[in-house]
Structure 1
């Protein structure tokens, strides 16, 4: 039995060419050269939008996969060769920028428009863009949209910004309000909540707190409500409504929305909210 297993292992190791001799160690895969990496970059750009840093990371992952395979095959110097290829990856990414195939500003504007339509706050959008390698001056311009003037940093003046259509017709604050309304519609609170979730004192509580109590408070939906509006809500037997308001505030706060924006979202009527969302839809 043991001998049969040994013979079986030897048979599996034999080359399939018919020579009958044992195969040697696994062949070392060829390292990707500049041409191969350039083709990989073009193939990626044909399918996805990305930034210069994002494209460089795609190419570096390809080199890292080759290095792991080469080291597993026992190749010497794979690490040093991978380091040399990392420089090539950076050069190819920069070439794509010069050719116009990669445009960080265009990517940032398009991604920001999409994220607003999904209910992301400006704070969340800026974090998202920073994680993808968009420079701070470009992020600042994206957040301002049509309110932005020339690029605020000399280091990015060489990039072609073009005329932004990111927020045409809406100010930055209005876009933020629309994003908050999108989130409210998704989570079904505020103007999009069911009538059973709201009480007669809820709108007044939100309006009063936004003006009187929110400036020094903390964003925490688990903290019991305070202030005259909250006491009035409690006395009116609206504890469930107050908890619902604070839960909604917590959702908006965790998403990155400021208190004044959250207050406007929660105190808005359904008709007003629908009008704002129609304006956002018309610009998209």
Structure 2
């Protein structure tokens, strides 16, 4: 009879995370990803919570496990401030870069702002970063918004980007569906109409100009 291989022993519990451990975790994370201040705080909190769950799973009392990480939780804000001092965390720079990236991907100004707010960026920073990256609402920002709407329409294969072999009924159906979808995505009705009614050559040119800016 062949003996079954024994199950490997559970991995021993590592020491409770301290400030030095969290700092190393933050640096490793930021070497791979760009993040906001709130994002790094949340990532470190999750790291601490995972240790608590593992400690409880190995038999430690929940109260003792929670108490063991109190110093680590108290160190999170200081570590994030250190990351800001190093330039590894910069909510303004993050917001401007993300705003441009999202607009080029076909997101409306309203959805860009909502995305940044969901990332925990301060409202004042969101407003100034979006304006800096995408332009003022009544100026350059209108052109950026229109170009983003055109990207959206191209993904939907509607308006100037409808298939050449599409008949009139299909073209109209795609137009109406795209118009509704653009409203849900935060584009003004006038902007959506302008994008969907545009000539294809001009539409492609506007998208190219936005992406090369």
- CA–CA distance in structure 2, aligned partners of residues 193 and 114 of structure 1: 25
Deviations 1:55-80 (A, max 9, x none): 11111111111111111112241112
Match of 1:139?
126
Deviations 1:205-246 (A, max 9, x none): xxxxxxxxxxxxxxxxxxxxxxxxxxxxxxxxxx65543332
- CA–CA distance in structure 1, aligned partners of residues 49 and 105 of structure 2: 34
Gaps of 5+ in 1: 1-7, 17-22, 146-165, 200-238
1:12 to partner: Cα distance: 5.5
Deviations 1:75-122 (A, max 9, x none): 241112334322212221122112322100000011111111111111
| Contact 1:26/1:73 (8 A) holds in 2 | no
Deviations 1:12-50 (A, max 9, x none): 59xx9xxxxxx9x98443111111110111111111100
**Whose radius of gyration is greater, 1 or 2?**
1
| Contact 1:51/1:134 (8 A) holds in 2 | yes
Q: Which moved more, 1:80-89 or 1:175-184?
A: 80-89
- CA–CA distance in structure 1, aligned partners of residues 123 and 167 of structure 2: 42
Alpha carbons of structure 1 residues 27 and 43: separation in structure 2 relative to 1, 3 Å: closer
Question: Which is helix-richer, 1 or 2?
Answer: 2
How many residue pairs end up in the alignment? 207
What TM-score do the two structures reach when normalised by structure 2?
A: 0.87
Pick aligned residue for 1:69 from 23, 31, 54: 54
Gaps of 5+ in 2: none
- CA–CA distance in structure 1, aligned partners of residues 112 and 68 of structure 2: 37
Match of 1:4?
none
Question: Does 2:88 match 1:101?
Answer: yes
Alpha carbons of structure 1 residues 129 and 168: separation in structure 2 relative to 1, 3 Å: closer
- CA–CA distance in structure 2, aligned partners of residues 198 and 82 of structure 1: 65
- CA–CA distance in structure 1, aligned partners of residues 45 and 141 of structure 2: 36
Structure of higher RCO (CA pairs closer than 8 Å, 6+ residues apart): 2
Question: Does 2:187 match 1:267?
Answer: no
Alpha carbons of structure 1 residues 115 and 12: separation in structure 2 relative to 1, 3 Å: same
1:163-242 equivalences in 2 (<5 Å): 166-167=133-134, 171-197=140-166, 199=168, 242=172
What SS does the corresponding residue of 1:134 show, helix, strand or coil? coil
Pick aligned residue for 2:78 from 74, 78, 91: 91
